[in-house]
Copies of this chain bind each other. A is one copy, B any other.
Amino acid sequence: MNKQDLTLLTDLYELTMMQGYYVKGQNEKVIFDVFFRANPCNNGYSICAGLEQVIDYIKNLNFTYEDVDYLRGLGIFSEDFLHYLSGFHFSGDIYAIPEGSVIFPKEPILKVIAPIMEAQLVETAILTILNHQCLIATKASRVVYAANGDGIMEFGLRRAQGPDAGLYGARAAIIGGCVGTSNVLAGQLFDVPVMGTHAHSWIMSFPDEYTAFKAYADLYPDNCTLLVDTYDTLKSGVPNAIRVFREFKESGRKFGKYGIRLDSGDLAYLSKQARKMLDEAGFTDATITASNDLDEYLLHDLKMQGAAINSWGVGTHLITSKDCPSFGGVYKLAAIQNSEGEFIPKIKISENTEKITNPGNKTIYRVYEKDSGKVKADLICFADETFDPSEDMLLFDPIETWKKTKMPGGSYTLREMMVPVFRNGECIYQSPSVKEIADYCRQEKDSLWEETKRLFYPHQIYVDLSPRLYEVKKNLLDQVNKA
């Protein structure tokens, strides 16, 4: 992703609407929310990721001479407006939930407060960046959960949806809990561990499998994982690997990490047989790595069947989130500032009920159970609301309002989730390193109940509205229905 070139990474209608506001002299401050409507893969939560790239995008927003010239050639923009664009920069405020945070549907994860022309322009790229990285971080978190402590290596670059998908997908995968990636560029740019073994072509370029293994062991004794399925896993690959391991040790040398990799066939059966052969030969500390179209479902089943696998390389299914390859983040107008400087809440109705938005200038409080430290609910409220955790709090479902939970005063703690990122166009937030984000993400997941982390039909965390927000929303809906 060329930072300088993303200004035109936007939908045409953002620019035609901008010109519309420009012509009408209509540039009041507005608030747009980014939120999503459902967790991918029916997960119980999602992982926030991509903010650092959103920050880079906003910082580098600027229409070059070539950009303006291209837009002029479309024949739909006035010279006045093009002149405005040539001096464009972002002057607004942005708030966001930090990367690595656990997030839930319907709550704002990023909020833009800016003159409408600016706020409109940035919609598309913000969504592109967040939707992608939140998706892959969440998928990675599921795969890591299924591995139950084994390391997951991100191996998907060749099946990613283009170079950026491989690069930022690897970043998001590390945030979601992967121990490393095969992607060298991701390693360079994000200072994360890079990992790998060798391919079938390595074996095939030697006269025979044994010679190929021996050459590899001589070269990489610190990390010697031999791919054993080029010809026949149990008849040829594993015996040749054992022969090389034995000769290596007999010659008095020592491996760092060593073992085999399975990349085809039935991984449960082959891993158990290979484990037996390795153990019988005395190589009980040899690791067995598996790859080949793995996802969290197969991984979960292989673990259930006692597959003797210690380490997993996950490619296509992780880097594309194959069974759910999009994250439905949207960007919706929530309020418009009037001439008195007050934000007037706005709502979008829809034939599809789940598309109705939450109005106003909002923030999120996470409600933790004090004793367990676990997440009880998220509360969406107006940004100026405050709550006293020594007092009782009533949580109720904003749709099924008869579903109520009373949190007694003193039994819960509160944490505001959104932090300021831009103020008056200046970035006031320092992104942590990817490793720091990944560490924080592990802590975040520790704040969830096991019931919410389950792969299948997890318990859904409540995301409730404050009573004041609920009333404002209800009144706006009634007004529209009356009209």
Contact = CB atoms under 8 A, between A and B. Distances in A.
Contacts of A9: 157, 163, 166-167, 183-185
A280 B202 CA distance: 71
Contacts of A8: 184-185, 187-188
A50 B233 CA distance: 35
Contacts of A250: none
A350 interface: yes
Interface string A169-193: 1000000000000111101100000
A159 interface: yes
Counting every copy of the chain, the complex holds 2
A218 B26 CA distance: 15
A161 B163 contact: no
**From A10, A66, A128, A230, residue with most partner B Cβ within 10 Å:** A128
Nearest to A2: B2
A200 interface: yes
Contact of A196 (B11, B162, B333): B11
Contact of A135 (B129, B161, B233): B161
A46 to B, nearest CB: 15
Contacts of A326: 159, 316, 320, 322
A366 to B, nearest CB: 27
A383 B232 CA distance: 30
A216 interface: yes
11 contacts: A9-B157, A11-B184, A12-B194, A17-B198, A21-B205, A71-B184, A120-B201, A124-B157, A129-B162, A265-B352, A320-B325
A162 B162 contact: yes
A295 to B, nearest CB: 12
Contacts of A327: 159
A470 B135 CA distance: 45
A289 to B, nearest CB: 12
A136 to B, nearest CB: 8
A32 B194 CA distance: 25
A74 interface: yes
A129 B164 CA distance: 10
The 10 closest A-B CB pairs, nearest first, are A265-B351, A13-B196, A164-B164, A12-B196, A162-B164, A325-B325, A127-B158, A161-B161, A11-B182, A161-B165
A351 B264 contact: yes
A1 B205 contact: no
A369 interface: no
Contacts of A11: 155, 157-158, 182-184, 196
Interface of A: 1-2, 5-6, 8-17, 19-21, 23-24, 26, 30, 32, 66-67, 70-71, 74, 76, 116, 120, 123-125, 127-129, 131-133, 135-136, 155, 157-169, 182-185, 187-188, 194-202, 204-205, 215-216, 219-220, 222-223, 229-233, 264-266, 270, 316, 320-322, 325-329, 331-333, 336, 346, 348-352, 355, 480, 483
A350 B233 CA distance: 9
A77 to B, nearest CB: 11
A141 to B, nearest CB: 17
A44 to B, nearest CB: 22
A155 B320 CA distance: 19
Nearest to A78: B219
Contact of A350 (B116, B220, B223, B264): B264
**From A131, A135, A161, A230, residue with most partner B Cβ within 10 Å:** A161
Given A16-B220, A182-B13, A132 B155 contact: no
Contacts of A23: 219
Contact of A128 (B71, B160, B204, B350): B160
Contacts of A13: 182, 196-199
B215 A132 contact: no
A332 B5 CA distance: 35
A91 to B, nearest CB: 18
A111 to B, nearest CB: 14
Given A9-B163, A162-B128, A219-B23, A333 B201 contact: yes
